[in-house]
Structure 1
């Protein structure tokens, strides 16, 4: 099976859970490796990744700094190209394209465009020789908790479509998220995520009906909905909840009558 090593960054917090997970991947017996998500710009963390063996390529799931801040330094340490969907986070490598296949370290890595958390979010289906694939999901599906639809480019409509993509790719397969523990069955986790999102949408609709207002993304309405729908969330993640409400209101505003 694919050799997967998790190198967890020491950056725990409300949004990063127990820390960002960088992945070192290789086929059994391969001297070289692939790194997915360099993580924060922490020298010890990056030195561990660089020391895992010759790095053929570094792949990035999305633009957030807890996944990308160490990219330039890891490129310096290893010489390996860093590839991301957003050209701003590429270093010596071409932007990733949805549907692309990458062959490295004895592995096949298929790039899935999975926007929604951010516009540039991608996932990777990783297959070794005669192996059952595993799916790296970045922040699109986490090991525990739920994912924020992040401003300014997150989209709930895109996110729900990306869940469909990941359900097909991950049914009965292990999911490896950017934060939190591995998921034994990614398809099952995706179905739970979808049910949660649809339940939240129903709660937002009910809040709007109670407020007597139409969907909108104006500040006052978003704050009023957060107060009703997310009243029980910890203050440390209230800003993230608000971002998701803005995305929910935009989704409802664009929904067919």
Structure 2
């Protein structure tokens, strides 16, 4: 489980709602969502099961269509298109493609949410710490491009897929870019010491020497993504 679990968002004005990320296939959780209002649409930020396993159960309870970037998760709705504006449940939702964490990652901009608007970021940006690049589906080059794209929404608050709300998207993006830059420098230094053809395990040992065993797979996935980026794969 990432942080405290997966955040499910209910978006709308009045009785009609849009659900963003049903989350796990937990009956009590899905019952609460279905009871919250008339679900008109279900949106998916990316393919990972902690965000998508509840799709079937929520569709069964509500009959609502499901839209995602990947057609395999769409039910009664078309795949999402970058830049489209969805007007439903009394609100506007702008689709912002943000690949990198996964190839199908997307964020949803809510321009009318309060004075500054907000951005539902899925796992592209988390409420605490930084996200992983889920190599090989995810990749660092598009992820960095996605972070730069999010700078186009400087005043928005962050509504992440895990963890608490963050008030300033631009500030978080700069933190993430700085973190990625530091990690890349650490990988470059490891390669300089170990040799340019050093493998993932050796580089992970050098860069993530103090991590707990349980997060080793995530660290290795990040190193693979960083090596691909540096080697121009």
**Normalised-by-shorter TM-score class:** over 0.9
Offset from partner CA, 1:194-229 (integer Å, 9 cap, x none): 000010000000000001224xxxxx7000000000
- Using the TM superposition, give the Cα deviation of residue 127 of structure 1 relative to its aligned residue in structure 2, in angstroms: 2.9
Identify the residue that residue 171 of structure 2 maps to in structure 1. 188
- Using the TM superposition, give the Cα deviation of residue 32 of structure 1 relative to its aligned residue in structure 2, in angstroms: 0.3
RMSD: 1.4
**Structure 1 residue aligned with 2:142, among 158, 165, 169?**
158
SS of aligned partner of 2:128: coil
Identify the residue that residue 77 of structure 1 maps to in structure 2. 61
Identify the residue that residue 66 of structure 1 maps to in structure 2. 50
Offset from partner CA, 1:159-201 (integer Å, 9 cap, x none): 00000111222x1221000001101101100100000001000
For the residues of structure 2 that align with 1:235 and 1:107, how far apart are their CA atoms?
Answer: 44
Identify the residue that residue 145 of structure 1 maps to in structure 2. 129
Matches within 5 A, 1:1-257: 13=1, 16-27=2-13, 30-128=14-112, 132-169=116-153, 171-214=154-197, 221-254=199-232
For the residues of structure 2 that align with 1:129 and 1:247, how far apart are their CA atoms?
Answer: 34
| Matched-pair contact (CA < 8 Å) for 2:111–2:117 | yes
SS of aligned partner of 2:94: strand
Runs of 4+ in 1 over 6 A off after TM superposition: none
For the residues of structure 2 that align with 1:144 and 1:126, how far apart are their CA atoms?
Answer: 21
For the residues of structure 1 that align with 2:159 and 2:50, how far apart are their CA atoms?
Answer: 16
For the residues of structure 2 that align with 1:202 and 1:21, how far apart are their CA atoms?
Answer: 32
Give the count of matched residue pairs: 233
Deviates more, 1:226-235 or 1:241-250: 226-235
SS of aligned partner of 1:56: strand
For the residues of structure 2 that align with 1:132 and 1:168, how far apart are their CA atoms?
Answer: 13
TM-score (norm 1): 0.88
- Using the TM superposition, give the Cα deviation of residue 72 of structure 1 relative to its aligned residue in structure 2, in angstroms: 1.4
For the residues of structure 2 that align with 1:132 and 1:198, how far apart are their CA atoms?
Answer: 28
| Matched-pair contact (CA < 8 Å) for 1:106–1:128 | no
For the residues of structure 1 that align with 2:83 and 2:155, how far apart are their CA atoms?
Answer: 21
